[in-house]
């Protein structure tokens, strides 16, 4: 079963400010990699690059961030195209989601994911056949 991972989870792989979340993120990603179930979107890859190079207390060097993007790109990457944008717009008009969260949900739907790992949405919430899981919740 595919699992879509949002940017906020991946950022913790590189953020040493919260060691517990970093450890949880590393364990989760390692499990998904072994299971070959990890899926991301082009939106997630772009947000990850910006966040780790500009917003962390100790930013990642650009070359290291590029290597991380390359490593994640060996897994399925859902491209943000016009159809995906339209579906996200429709979803955010019908549900109380921001456009960016709706775009994540629609990318997870496009991927055929069963699970969406994120801190940004309500854990336990379902979107079609996708269940939102906050990997850092106690």
Q: How would you label 26-43 residue by residue, b for 16+ Cβ within 10 Å and e otherwise?
A: eebbeebeeeebbbbbeb
Tens of pLDDT, residue by residue over 13-26, are 999 999 999 999 99
CB atoms near residue 57 (< 10 Å): 7
CATH of 2-133, one of 3.40.50.1010, 3.40.50.300, 3.50.90.10, 3.60.110.10: 3.40.50.1010
Tabulate helix, strand, coil % of the chain (nearest 5). 50, 15, 35
DSSP code at position 58: S
Q: What is the pLDDT of residue 86?
A: 98
CA 116 – CA 118 distance, rounded (Å): 6
Structure token digits, residue 62: 């650009």
Tens of pLDDT, residue by residue over 92-112, are 999 999 999 999 999 999 999
CB contact at 8 A, 130 and 122: no
Q: Where are the domains of the chain?
A: 2-133
Tens of pLDDT, residue by residue over 28-67, are 999 999 999 999 999 999 999 999 999 999 999 999 999 9
């Amino acid at each position: 079963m595919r699992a879509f991972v949002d940017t906020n989870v991946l950022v913790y792989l590189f953020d040493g400010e919260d060691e517990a979340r970093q450890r949880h993120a590393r364990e989760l990603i390692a499990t998904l990699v072994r299971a070959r179930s990890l899926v991301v979107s082009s939106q997630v890859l772009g947000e990850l690059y910006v966040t780790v190079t500009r917003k962390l207390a100790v930013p990642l060097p650009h070359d290291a961030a590029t290597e991380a993007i390359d490593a994640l790109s060996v897994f399925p990457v859902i491209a943000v195209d016009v159809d995906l944008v339209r579906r996200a717009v429709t979803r955010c008009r019908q549900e109380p989601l921001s456009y960016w969260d709706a775009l994540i949900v629609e990318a997870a739907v496009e991927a055929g994911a069963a699970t969406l790992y994120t801190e940004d949405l309500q854990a336990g919430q379902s979107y079609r056949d996708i269940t939102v899981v906050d990997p850092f919740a106690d």
